[in-house]
Amino acid sequence: MGALAAIGIGAFAQVENAGGVRRRSDRDKKKETERPGVTDRMQGFYEQKSAHEADLSYMREIYRQLDLSKPANTPLYFPEDVIDGQQNLFRIILGLVVDGKVPAYEYLDGREVFTDQYKVNIAEMLDRFGIYYQQGKGSTERNPKYVIEEADVPTGQVLNYYILEKWEFDRRSNRMKTRVEAICPVLNRVGDFGGEAKYPMFWVKYDALRPWLAQQYVFLSDDNNLPQYSIDDYFNLGMYDGEIYKTRNLRNLSMMQMFPDPDDLARAQDSIDNRLKNYGKDLWVPTREQYLAQKEKEEALKKAAAEADTIPERTVVSEDDGDDRSVRKSSTRTKKRTAVKTKKKRAAKPKLSSSGDQPNSGASKSVRRRRR
């Protein structure tokens, strides 16, 4: 009996191990307490593994600016205050960064490096941007904690976001993939010499934010107040409206530096957008069935255009020698011209003589010789 029990216990343990079930360690429990509501499994589910360079045939990094005054971007700004547990994007980001749940990285103006060397010091960052805070309970030099009151969060000054997009064409799936790599909140304040100045705060990797953004739902229009999409859906589905302010280049120049003229800048931005969107279409090769269907469609369009290239029916009026007028209709220009030529060639109607027996002809009559 003891042997059977031992075998049963061993088999049960083997099944548990085969299924990936293991006992939680103290380290796992500590992680769950540090990140309430987000587990390691949830974090791993939202992490996107970057494609291997051998599988990529094209990759480009695009920097966009999201202006929150545009209607498409307002879901990121509202609500300004916490209402029924709803928070805007900046409150979520700042709270996660201050609590140490999500790391923040220095803004290096086009040369972003997401390593431990460039992690932001929370206290220095708060002091630099004038955000009032207090030391939290249990705060130590090794593990500092900060508390920021809701009224001290400058949500009304964050009117822009910078996002870093990656456009990758994967050979395996033969598709162009777009994903947001990082987000940077931008403070809008009055500069030292007057006028509005922008102060980028820090970069946060988007994958680290996804578990919390997926739990925050927003409504996208005033016509429908039902929040059907999360902030994570908002970014993944490309619902934002952002203009390109920079692309990764060797000289590390912004679009405004490369194209000082506003018209040239707008044309360059549109050109980059069109090339990115049409890159995958240019590499697409249709199948035989798709090619034949497309050819048949083009021929049908040509035939319809040829049939439609006619002139509506016109009324052609031509005068005869008399007072009567003959009215004829022609549906095409060819018929009209033919009718006119026919009338011109028509011989004049001979007139009768006064006697009414013979036609009055101007030709000389032949005189027969008569016998005398």
Q: What is the pLDDT of residues 21-65, one digit of tens each?
A: 445 455 554 444 344 467 777 777 777 777 777 778 889 999 999
Residue scoring higher pLDDT (239 or 368): 239
Instruction: Output the CA angle 70-74-77, nearest 5 degrees.
Output: 125
Amino acid at 180: V
pLDDT over 80 (residue 192): no
Beta bridge partners of 254: 246
pLDDT over 80 (residue 330): no
Which pLDDT score is estimated for 63?
A: 96
pLDDT over 90 (residue 212): yes
- The two beta strands, 204-205 and 196-200, are unpaired
Beta bridge partners of 176: 169
Tokens of 307: 């049939």
Contact 73, 234 (CB under 8 A): no
pLDDT band at 351 (very low <50, low <70, confident <90, very high): low
Rounded Cα distance between 83 and 66, Å, is: 24
pLDDT band at 316 (very low <50, low <70, confident <90, very high): low
Rounded Cα distance between 227 and 212, Å, is: 16
Residue scoring higher pLDDT (228 or 14): 228
Rounded Cα distance between 280 and 169, Å, is: 7
Q: Using CA of residue 119, residue 123, residue 127, residue 131, what is the dihedral sign?
A: positive
Which pLDDT score is estimated for 73?
A: 96
Which pLDDT score is estimated for 356?
A: 47
- Stretch among 118-122, 126-130, 280-284, 362-366 having the lowest mean pLDDT: 362-366
- Stretch among 9-18, 25-34, 146-155, 265-274 having the lowest mean pLDDT: 9-18
Amino acid at 124: E
pLDDT band at 329 (very low <50, low <70, confident <90, very high): very low
Give phi and psi for 13, each to the nearest 5.
Answer: -65, -35
**Which residues are CB-neighbours of 248 under 8 A, at least 6 positions away?**
60, 61, 62, 63, 110
pLDDT over 90 (residue 183): yes
pLDDT over 60 (residue 251): yes
Tokens of 105: 């990285």
Give phi and psi for 311, each to the nearest 5.
Answer: -95, 135
Rounded Cα distance between 146 and 134, Å, is: 6
Tokens of 177: 């993939």
The number of C-alpha atoms within 13 Å of 211 and in the hemisphere containing its C-beta is: 16
**Which residues are CB-neighbours of 313 under 8 A, at least 6 positions away?**
329, 330, 331
Q: Which DSSP letter does residue 40 get?
A: H
Which pLDDT score is estimated for 234?
A: 96
Average pLDDT of span 261-284: 86
pLDDT band at 284 (very low <50, low <70, confident <90, very high): low
pLDDT band at 243 (very low <50, low <70, confident <90, very high): very high
Which pLDDT score is estimated for 139?
A: 87
pLDDT band at 282 (very low <50, low <70, confident <90, very high): low
Tokens of 347: 């011989």
Which pLDDT score is estimated for 350?
A: 52
Contact 243, 253 (CB under 8 A): no
Which pLDDT score is estimated for 265?
A: 95
pTM score, whole prediction = 0.67
Which pLDDT score is estimated for 126?
A: 96
pLDDT band at 277 (very low <50, low <70, confident <90, very high): confident
Which pLDDT score is estimated for 217?
A: 93
Beta bridge partners of 319: 325
Instruction: Output the CA angle 62-191-114, nearest 5 degrees.
Output: 35
Tokens of 330: 């022609």
Contact 89, 76 (CB under 8 A): yes
Rounded Cα distance between 156 and 187, Å, is: 9
Which pLDDT score is estimated for 312?
A: 55
CA-wise closest residue to 186 among 207, 214, 159: 159
300 sits in the region (left: phi over 0; alpha: psi -120 to 50; else beta) called alpha
**Which residues are CB-neighbours of 158 under 8 A, at least 6 positions away?**
68, 77, 90, 185, 186, 187, 188
Report the mean per-residue pLDDT for the chain: 78
pLDDT band at 175 (very low <50, low <70, confident <90, very high): confident
